[in-house]
Amino acid sequence: MGKMLSNGVKFLLTTLLIIAIGFLLFVANKTASEYVILILNLMAINIIFAVSLTLINGITGIFSLGHAGFIAIGAYVSTLLTLPVAQKEMTFLIKPLIYPLNQIQLPFLPATIIAGLIAAGFGYVVAAPSLRLIGDYLAIATLGLGETIRIIANNAWSITNGALGLKAIPPYTNIYWSWGWAFATVFVIASLVKSSYGRALKAIREDSIAAKAMGINVFSHQVMSFVLGSFFAGVGGALWAHLITTIDPKSFAFTKTFEILIMVVLGGLGSISGAIIGASIYTVGLEFLRVLESPFKFGFINFPGIPGMRMVVLSVLLIILMLFWQRGIMGRNELSWDLLYGFVTKRLKKRGGKND
């Protein structure tokens, strides 16, 4: 097993890391370009999406494909609460927005929290019937659910403004909100997973019948995981809406769930640190791939830019990933100080041995 660091040391290291990241973000916020700040915000939001999906799919083993639906709920609820009343009147052309939403305007934080809670509420309502199903059936049911939410959003003109969507959303999302919530998400979910409840959820994933036999109320724990994941999905949706400032039902098609799935699988399904890594790489990688969509030179060769090339490359990458590297970067393991410590000391020992 090797030497392990004491808990005190680990706590100190984690705190230092958070402070370091916080400092970097502070500097970036002051000096970086708008483009870089946009990417950083997207990265944080994608981390929230990926970690919340990992809790449901990777840790608890509930193969849910409906994450986009809860993101949509978060986005719409938060937006309807923060849009100025005058703007609502202007936007809702086909049918006026229902009471009391057309009178309310709330600040960002309460709107985000309410958005998360309502997404969680939907998760609760949806969980009970869905969790009776296993494996593939559950996947299809949750996929249908996500799609149903999108269709309702497309048709409920007096609530969501239907296909027209909502625009001129106040751009509240900044580095502090997005990364603040990202930290909160990671903290809550990581803390959950590192507790007896985390073991219970993993046990349910490994063998729900054995878990039952060991005294675990499988159903209530699955619901808990689903609701918690949906809450953060809703929060992420709220942050996202207030970043891109326009939303419409098309933004929440199955494609969105698929993107998050890529992030999670890339990082390792079942690992929180994997989800963070996967989300970060995906966010940055997607921007790099954008290069492919406008003309560029590679050595001597001129490549014409092709719109849509990004997604083609992405999907090919995912297929290759699954064929050759199913585990993803972290597999089911977590990045930990012990792991790092062991890695570093092994390297140092090797170096020391060579010098003898």
Partner 1 sequence: MTEVLRVENVTKRFGGLVAVDHFVGYARQGELLGLIGPNGAGKTTLFNVITGMYAPDEGRIVFLGKDISGHKPYEITRSGIARTFQNIRLFSDMTVLENVMVSQHLKLRSWLWLFRSIAKTPGSIRMEKQMHKEAIKLLERVGLETFASEKASSLPYGLQRKLEIARALATKPKLLLLDEPAAGMNPQETYELMEFIKKVRDDFSLTIMVIEHDMKVIMGICERIYVMDYGKLIAEGNPRQIQSNPAVIKAYLGEEVLL
Partner 2 sequence: MNFAAFLQHLINALSLGGIYALIAIGYTMVYGILRLINFAHGDVFTYGIYLAFYGVVLFLMPWWIAFIFSIFATAFLGALIERIAYKPLRNAPRISALITAIGVSFFLQNFATVVFGGRAKSFNPQTGIYPTSFLAMIEIGAVKIPVLTLLTLSIAIVSMILLMWIVYKTKVGMAMRAISKDIPATRLMGVNADRIITFTFILGSGLAAIGGILWAMKYPQVYPYTGMIPGLKAFIAAVVGGIGSIQGAMVGGFILGVSEIMIVAFVPSLAGYRDAFAYAILLFVLLVKPTGILGVEVSEKV
Q: Is 220 in the site for partner 2 (CB under 8 A)?
A: no
Count of beta carbons in the 10 Å neighbourhood of residue 157:
16
What DSSP character marks residue 98?
P
Contacts of 256 (CB under 8 A, 6+ apart): 67, 68, 71
Which of 14, 15, 155, 217 lies at the binding interface for partner 2 (CB under 8 A)? 155
Which of 104, 113, 117, 212 lies at the binding interface for partner 1 (CB under 8 A)? 212
Which stretch in 39-47, 119-127, 203-211, 257-265 sits in contact with partner 1 by CB under 8 A? Answer: 203-211
Q: Is 207 in the site for partner 1 (CB under 8 A)?
A: yes
In angstroms, give the least distance from the CB of 73 to partner 1: 23
Which of 291, 332, 334, 335 lies at the binding interface for partner 1 (CB under 8 A)? 332
Q: Is 216 in the site for partner 1 (CB under 8 A)?
A: yes
The answer to whether the Cα torsion of 307, 45, 73, 134 is positive or negative is: positive
Q: Is 86 in the site for partner 1 (CB under 8 A)?
A: no
CB closer to partner 1 out of 86 and 213: 213
32 binds, among partner 2, partner 1, none (CB under 5 to 8 A by kind): none
Look-up of token digits 């849009």: 83
Which of 148, 217, 315, 345 lies at the binding interface for partner 1 (CB under 8 A)? 217
Q: Is 191 in the site for partner 1 (CB under 8 A)?
A: yes
Binders of partner 2 in range 60-79 (CB under 8 A): 63
In angstroms, give the least distance from the CB of 231 to partner 2: 23
Closest Cα to residue 83, out of 69, 97, 65, 104?
Answer: 104
CA distances (Å), origin 135, targets 59, 140, 351: 14, 9, 49
Count of beta carbons in the 10 Å neighbourhood of residue 248:
17
CA distances (Å), origin 214, targets 199, 200, 270: 12, 10, 22
Q: Is 192 in the site for partner 1 (CB under 8 A)?
A: yes
